[in-house]
Amino acid sequence: MRTILVCIAVLATACQADASATTAAPTAMAVNATMISVVDGDTIDVAIGGHRERVRLIGIDTPETKKPNTPVQCYGPEATKYTKSLLPEGTQLHLERDVVARDDFGRMLAYVYTAGDGSFVNMTIIRQGYARPLTIPPNATHAGEFVDAAQAAQREHIGLWARCSG
């Protein structure tokens, strides 16, 4: 009987450790960029080593607001405003690259995190219904997660999923 109680105690402790690991708060990350400005919902300007760099957030696509010869799309202004709320000027960032470093327009491609708390900006934008997933292989590290987050937002009818058709 004592052996059974010890086993139960060990299992309970292990389950508590697993539960706390999955609910732990994000952690601080090394700073490698500083926020300058938001261009649109999925493109930002940052300072890296004293140089201005345009960064396209990998894996997400927000409705257009500034694309030449393209009208402002449904929920585009809201997406831009939301990204601005997440990334005020001066925010310390941690950028992570994937396989391909730049897009055809010369923009740096990155997964963006706020350095102070480790919040994953790309994921937050898509999870809150401000973007659709956009996977351009080989930059697909978080593709499945982004699809899952977008499907959840769509099921919950939040953001563009509630306001825009098509």
In a domain, 63, yes or no: yes
Predicted pLDDT of residue 166:
60
Q: Dig out the tokens for 34 from the structure.
A: 């500083």
Residue 39: domain span: 33-163
Active centre residues (catalytic): 56, 64, 107
Position 22 pLDDT exceeds 80: no
Give the domain CATH number at 91.
Answer: 2.40.50.90
**DSSP type of residue 63:** P
Predicted pLDDT of residue 69:
82
Read off the pTM: 0.82
Q: What is the pLDDT of residues 113-153, one digit of tens each?
A: 999 999 999 999 999 999 999 999 999 999 999 999 999 99
Number of independent structural domains in the chain: 1
Position 52 pLDDT exceeds 70: yes
- Measured between alpha carbons, how far is 92 from 137 in angstroms, rounded to an integer? 28
In a domain, 12, yes or no: no
Q: How confident is the model at residue 20 (pLDDT cuts 50, 70, 90)?
A: very low
In a domain, 26, yes or no: no
In a domain, 136, yes or no: yes
Rounded to the nearest integer, the mean pLDDT of the chain is 87
Q: Is 147 exposed, middle or buried (0-12, 13-18, 19+ CB in 10 A)?
A: middle
Instruction: Provide the 10 A C-beta neighbour count for residue 117.
Output: 11
